[in-house]
């Protein structure tokens, strides 16, 4: 056996791999876009599986998926959820699940405010929900995502669902702006090679700032959105969300709800004491190991907008002048 190649062979071997260009911005943007779709798909799955109205699956980690180094000793009490939604409220589901498993926890909601919140959701179900979500972490990363969702709650079959997701880069400039639209009850189409990943077919308007281009894609698998009202409403109905007190937020009186999810994560939801609609959620988490840890905070500011013509127009991404239209990118996965 030989341990090394001779120098001549090594030179030739390395020459053979040289001169490969870096991927273009277009290729990079397309790949990033596809990854985001998969992330959103997991969020949608996590929401479905995590709903307390749909069985016991709450998206927590299972032992077989835990790396050996992070045994139950280190994160067992955390039971991180699989995903949070773009609105990042799914974590509340996990909080509720934990509390349910610990009867001594805060499991007794104040009934009257909870009824008021449910009533507020019902009256605002046709609104546009605007959420500005900012994630900061101790390693210096800051990301901001704006989302607009209409209607605020899942509508009945035959009605449209619209969702716009505007991603900003660390420099605060837009990276991509994606509008999704589908009709509830539309035929399902596959997303991804795994069986069982089917989503309603709809339209995706994708504006990519890196390539200064946009495309309009029809009959695509549309993933999302997560309906904030449905998520919180489910928690209230299952008695898993607790009122912790009252305070003042940006000059308005608010109710504070939520709970810690073990020592490594906590979530807090503020609801207006006047309208009883959510106005802010803050989720904090810690990840890493004994030698390195990342602490992160996700702040979601939530607004309910009346479905006026002007506010409904916010659901459509802006196409800046000078951007060129491109053919729709290939389907996320080969078909057939």
Q: Hey, which residues between 50 and 89 contact another protein (CB under 8 A)?
A: 61, 65-67, 69-70, 74-75, 80-84, 88
Q: In whole angstroms, give the CA distance from residue 245 to residue 213.
A: 48
Which residue in the set 104, 291, 321, 335 belongs to the binding site for another protein (CB under 8 A)? 291
- The answer to whether residues 266 and 291 touch, using CB atoms and an 8 Å cutoff, is no
SS3 helix, strand, coil % of the chain, rounded to 5?
A: 25, 35, 40
The minimum distance between CB 223 and another protein, in angstroms, equals 12
Q: In whole angstroms, give the CA distance from residue 105 to residue 101.
A: 9
| Residue count, binding to another protein (CB under 8 A) | 73
Using CB under 8 A as the binding rule, the residues of this chain from 315 to 334 that contact another protein are: 330
Secondary structure (DSSP) of 255-309: EEEEEE-STTEEEEEEEETTT--EEEEEEEEEEE-SS-EEEEEEEEEEEEE---H
* Candidate segments 4-12, 99-107, 121-129, 248-256, binder of another protein by CB under 8 A: 4-12
> What size, in residues, is the chain?
336
CA separation, residue 313 to residues 83, 181, 253 (Å): 29, 13, 30
DSSP designation for 311: H
Closer residue to another protein in complex, CB, 91/117: 91
Closer residue to another protein in complex, CB, 125/135: 135
Site map for another protein, 239-268, x if CB under 8 A? ------------------------xxx---
Give the residue ranges of DSSP H helices in 17-87.
Answer: 25-50, 72-75
- The answer to whether residues 90 and 50 touch, using CB atoms and an 8 Å cutoff, is yes
Closer residue to another protein in complex, CB, 31/310: 31
Q: Does 39 bind another protein (CB under 8 A)?
A: yes
* Candidate segments 31-39, 105-113, 208-216, 307-315, binder of another protein by CB under 8 A: 31-39
Q: Does 289 bind another protein (CB under 8 A)?
A: yes
Q: Does 172 bind another protein (CB under 8 A)?
A: no
Closer residue to another protein in complex, CB, 186/268: 268
The minimum distance between CB 87 and another protein, in angstroms, equals 12
Closer residue to another protein in complex, CB, 32/106: 32
The minimum distance between CB 216 and another protein, in angstroms, equals 21
Q: Does 282 bind another protein (CB under 8 A)?
A: no
**Which residue matches tokens 């749909």?**
54
What values do phi and psi take at 161, rounded to 5? -120, 130
The minimum distance between CB 35 and another protein, in angstroms, equals 5
| Tokens read off for 250 | 């940006």
Which residue in the set 7, 8, 245, 327 belongs to the binding site for another protein (CB under 8 A)? 8
**Which residue matches tokens 């549309």?**
222
Q: Could you give the angle at the alpha carbon of 199 between the alpha carbons of 196 and 203, nearest 5°?
A: 155
Which residue in the set 22, 56, 63, 327 belongs to the binding site for another protein (CB under 8 A)? 22
| Tokens read off for 274 | 């006047």
Using CB under 8 A as the binding rule, the residues of this chain from 127 to 166 that contact another protein are: 135, 137-141, 143, 145
Handedness of CA 317, 319, 320, 325 (dihedral sign): positive
* Candidate segments 6-14, 114-122, 148-156, 207-215, binder of another protein by CB under 8 A: 6-14
Q: Does 27 bind another protein (CB under 8 A)?
A: yes
Query: If we measure between CA atoms, which residue out of 152, 144, 216, 212 comes closest to residue 178?
Result: 216
Closer residue to another protein in complex, CB, 172/322: 172
């Amino acid at each position: 056996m030989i341990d090394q190649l001779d120098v001549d062979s090594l030179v030739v071997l390395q020459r053979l791999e040289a001169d490969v260009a870096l991927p273009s911005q277009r290729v990079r943007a397309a790949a990033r876009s596809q990854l985001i779709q998969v992330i959103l798909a997991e969020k949608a799955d996590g929401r479905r599986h995590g709903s307390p109205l749909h069985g016991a699956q709450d998206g927590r980690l299972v032992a077989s998926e835990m790396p050996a180094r992070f045994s139950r000793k280190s994160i067992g009490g955390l039971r991180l959820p699989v995903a949070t939604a773009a609105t990042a409220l799914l974590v509340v589901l996990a909080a509720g699940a934990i509390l349910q498993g610990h009867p001594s926890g805060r499991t007794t909601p104040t009934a009257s405010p909870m009824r008021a919140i449910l009533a507020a959701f019902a009256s605002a179900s046709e609104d546009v929900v605007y959420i500005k979500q900012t994630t900061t972490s101790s390693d210096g990363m800051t990301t901001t995502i704006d989302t607009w969702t209409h209607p605020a709650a899942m509508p009945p079959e035959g009605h449209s669902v619209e969702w716009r997701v505007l991603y900003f880069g660390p420099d605060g400039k837009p990276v991509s702006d994606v509008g999704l639209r589908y009709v509830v009850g539309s035929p399902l189409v596959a997303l991804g090679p795994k069986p069982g990943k089917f989503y309603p077919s709809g339209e995706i308007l994708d504006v990519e700032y890196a390539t200064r281009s946009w495309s309009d894609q029809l009959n695509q698998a549309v993933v999302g959105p997560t309906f904030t009202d449905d998520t919180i409403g489910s928690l209230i109905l299952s008695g898993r969300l607790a009122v912790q007190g009252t305070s003042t937020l940006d000059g308005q009186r608010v109710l504070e709800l939520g709970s810690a999810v073990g020592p490594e994560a906590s979530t807090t939801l503020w609801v207006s004491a006047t309208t009883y609609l959510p106005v802010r959620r803050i989720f904090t988490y810690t990840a890493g190991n004994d030698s390195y840890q990342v602490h992160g905070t996700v702040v979601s500011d939530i607004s309910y907008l009346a479905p006026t013509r002007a506010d409904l127009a916010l659901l459509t991404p802006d196409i800046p002048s000078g951007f060129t239209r491109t053919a729709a990118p290939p389907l996320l996965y080969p078909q057939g």
